[in-house]
Amino acid sequence: MNFRQINADTVKNTVKKLFLDCNYNIGDDILCALKKSKDKEKSPVGQSVLAQIIENDEIAAAEQIPLCQDTGMAVLFVEYGDKVVIENGSFQEAVEQGVREAYEEGYLRKSVVSDPVFDRTNTKDNTPAIIHTKIVPGDKIKITAGGKGFGSENMSAIKMLTPSYGIEGVKDFVLETVRKAGPNPCPPMVVGVGIGGTFEKCAELAKKATFRSIDTENPDPRYADLERELLERINKMGFGPAGLGGSTTAIGVNVETYPTHIAGMPVAVNICCHAARHKSAEI
Amino acid sequence: MKRITLPLTDEQIETLNAGDSVLLSGTMITGRDAAHKRLYELAQKGEDFPVDIKGETIYYVGPAPAKPGYAVGPAGPTSSYRMDKYAPTLMDMGLKAMVGKGARNKEVVDAIVRNHGVYFAAIGGAAALIAKSIKSEKLLCYEDLGTEAIREYVVEDFPCVVVIDSKGNNVYETEPQKYNEE
C-alpha cells in the first residue's frame, strides 16, 4: 500500500489561509451577482444599498480587512483521501490551530461561546470549528472553508416533510422560510436547500448548498429548474436589499439532494447573507 | 440625505420620517445581546446602570478587532430582534434611539411611539464601509464581554435609514409591499 504523508503544518497553514481569504475577499460569483442585480434592481434605495455592499466588499479586499464584522463560526467540508497519513500531528488539531491562527492574527472576530446555554463564555480563539469529513478514495485532501454568520444562520429551518407533500411542499417550505426571515438575514441572501437523507444529513446538505458558488447549478435539470424557479419567486416577495424594499431579495438558490427513506422527504433551508464566504484548496 | 447630530433632540426626532436616509454625526453607545441582558437585569433589580443611557442612541454592534492604524475594526449592525425583549425597558428609562438591522416586535414599536424615539437601520454586511464613518471608540463598561462590551463611538456621517419613526411608521411594512409581485 502506498500512503502519502502530509505534514500537519501544511494542513494548518492551508486552513488559516482559507479563513483569511474568505473573510477578506468575497467570491467573484457573489460580486458579479451583486453588480448584475444592481443594474436590474427596481428600487432606487435598493440600488443604493447594493452599491454600498459592492463598495464595502471592494474596500475589504483592497485593505485586507473582514468584509463583515461577523466573521462567523468556522465551517469546513473536507474530502479526505484514504491514502493520506498526517505526520507531526493530528488532522483535527491542525484544522483547529489553523482556525485559531487565522482568527487571532487576521483581526477576525471571535464569536464562539463554550457552552450554548449555561456558560456562554467566549472561547477567545473562535474554536471549535465545525468539520464535516468525508473519506474518499485517493491521496489528497480537499478543504472548503467558510465563516458562517449567525444573523442569517438563525433564520434557517428544517422540516420533516413526507412523500405526499411532493415538489409543491418543498417549494412552499422554502418560500415560507424566506418570508419569515424577511429583512433580518441581510438580504440579498443566498438560500441553501437540502432535500433528502436523514434529519442531520438534510441540514448538512443545506449548508453544503450555501458553500457552492452561485454561478453553478444543480447538475440534475429538474433541480436546476427548481433553483431558478425559487430564485424568481423569492425576488417577487419585495423585501429587497437590506429589506428596505426592492426586487433583489436573493442572489442565489442552491439545491443539494440525497437519497432518502421510503417514508420521508426532509427539507432544510440554510439562509446565508450576501456575504456568502467560502474558499477551497486541495493539498 | 439628512444630516443629523447626536445626541438627538425631540425636535430632530420629530422631523425624521420612516424611509429617510440620514447621516449621523456625534456620539453613540454600543451594545448587543450580553450587555442588554446585564442592563435589563440591573433594571429589574432597580439598580443603577454603569452607563448613562438617557437621551442616547445605541448601536447594536459587535465589532471585529481593529487592524493597526484603524480607529475601529469592521462594525456593521447585528440583528435587532434579539434585543426586543430588553429594548422597551431601556427606552422607558430614557434611551432615545436604536441602530441595528431587521424587524422589531410590536412591543418595541409601541415603546418607540410612547417614548418619542426612533429606530434606524444600517446596512447589514457593510461593516468595512460603515467603519469608515466611526472616528474613535472608548470603552465604557463590561470589558469582559469583549466584542460585546459597551463602547462609545464618535461617528461622522454614519449612514443609515429611518425604519420606524416616532409616529410608528415602519418601512419594513410599507416598502416591500410596493415591490411585491406575487
CA-CA distance, A249 to A183, in Å (whole number)? 9
Q: If one looks up domain A4-23+67-148 in CATH, what number appears?
A: 3.30.360
On the question of pLDDT at A103 being above 70, the answer is: yes
Q: What is the pLDDT of residue A2?
A: 86
Could you tell me the residue ranges of all domains in chain A? 4-23+67-148, 151-277
Chain A 234-263, residues with CB within 8 Å of chain B CB atoms = 236-240, 242-247
Contact check, Cβ <8 Å, B128/A52: no
Using a CB-CB cut-off of 8 Å, the residues of chain B touching A233 are 182
- CATH fold, domain B23-177, is fumarase (3.20.130)
A243 residue type, one letter: G
Instruction: Tell me if chain B has a CB within 8 Å of the CB of A68.
Output: yes
Using a CB-CB cut-off of 8 Å, the residues of chain B touching A186 are 101, 124-125
Could you tell me the residue ranges of all domains in chain B? 23-177
| Residue A85 pLDDT level (bands cut at 50, 70, 90) | very high
Q: What is the pLDDT of residue B1?
A: 84
C-alpha cell at A108: 477576525
Complex ipTM > 0.90? yes
C-alpha cell at B28: 453613540
Average pLDDT taken over every residue of chain A: 97
Q: Of B64, B126, B159, which is closest to A107 when you measure between CB atoms? A: B64
C-alpha cell at A214: 452561485
Predicted TM-score (pTM) above 0.90: yes
User: Do B167 and B40 meet the contact criterion of CB atoms below 8 Å apart?
Assistant: no
The predicted-structure confidence for A133-181, as pLDDT tens digits, reads as follows 999 999 999 999 999 999 999 999 999 999 999 999 999 999 999 999 9
The predicted-structure confidence for A28-71, as pLDDT tens digits, reads as follows 999 999 999 999 999 999 999 999 999 999 999 999 999 999 99
CA-CA distance, A253 to A228, in Å (whole number)? 7
- Three-state SS string over B49-74 comes to CCCCCCCCEEECCCCCCCCCCCCCCC
